């Protein structure tokens, strides 16, 4: 039984360590996003991706009863980092959504402007001219 408690404690410690590392990465990403520097996102790094997968595996196979049976100090640390991880992850997700929406809006606005610029000139002739469908804004993009 004592060996089982040691294994459970080690597992909780591993979860805490993984969560702390992920929180640090996400907090750095949040700083980069708030400063308008999405190129500095560390979460896209392959090592961070491996860390995320490892945390996901650990969390998926983690029974909450293990934490409930843990010593009070360890349980408190685990609950604190879990709450912090959720909070930081939610903020990170919201900021990424904002950046994504802004980027998509800019691309759409540029595409519409390029299409407008490539429209044929309207004339006063009795017969309207043939207007081909736009080939795509990114092909004719003179703005970027």
Which residue has 């709450």 as its token pair? 83
- What average pLDDT does the segment 36-43 reach? 84
Band (pLDDT 50/70/90 cuts) for residue 1 is: very low
Average pLDDT value over all residues in the chain: 82
Answer yes or no: is pLDDT of 57 > 70: yes
Instruction: Give the pLDDT confidence score for residue 110 in this predicted structure.
Output: 85
SS (H, E, C) 8-76: HHHHHHHHHHHHHHHHHHHHHHHHHHHCCCHHHCCCCCHHHHHHHHHHHHHHHCCCHHHHHCCCHHHHH
Instruction: Give the pLDDT confidence score for residue 137 in this predicted structure.
Output: 53
pLDDT digits (tens, 9 = 90+) for 90-128: 999 998 888 888 878 878 888 888 877 777 766 665 655
- What average pLDDT does the segment 9-36 reach? 92
Are the C-beta atoms of residues 26 and 89 closer than 8 Å to each other? yes
Answer yes or no: is pLDDT of 27 > 90: yes
Instruction: Give the pLDDT confidence score for residue 4 in this predicted structure.
Output: 66
Distances (CA, A) of 9 to 48, 58, 63, 91: 24, 13, 13, 29
């Amino acid at each position: 039984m004592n060996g089982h408690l040691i294994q459970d404690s080690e597992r909780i410690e591993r979860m805490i360590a993984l969560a702390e590392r992920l929180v640090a990465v996400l907090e750095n990403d949040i700083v980069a996003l708030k400063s308008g520097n999405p190129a500095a996102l560390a979460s896209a790094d392959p090592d961070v991706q491996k860390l995320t997968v490892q945390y996901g595996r650990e969390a998926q196979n983690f029974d909450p009863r293990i934490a409930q049976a843990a010593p009070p100090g360890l349980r408190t640390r685990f609950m604190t980092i879990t709450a912090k991880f959720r909070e930081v992850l939610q903020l990170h997700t919201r900021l990424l959504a904002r950046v994504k929406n802004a980027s998509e809006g800019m691309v759409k606005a540029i595409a519409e402007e390029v299409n407008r610029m490539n429209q044929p000139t309207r004339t006063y002739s009795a017969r309207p001219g043939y207007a081909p469908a736009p080939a795509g804004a990114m092909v004719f993009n003179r703005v970027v």
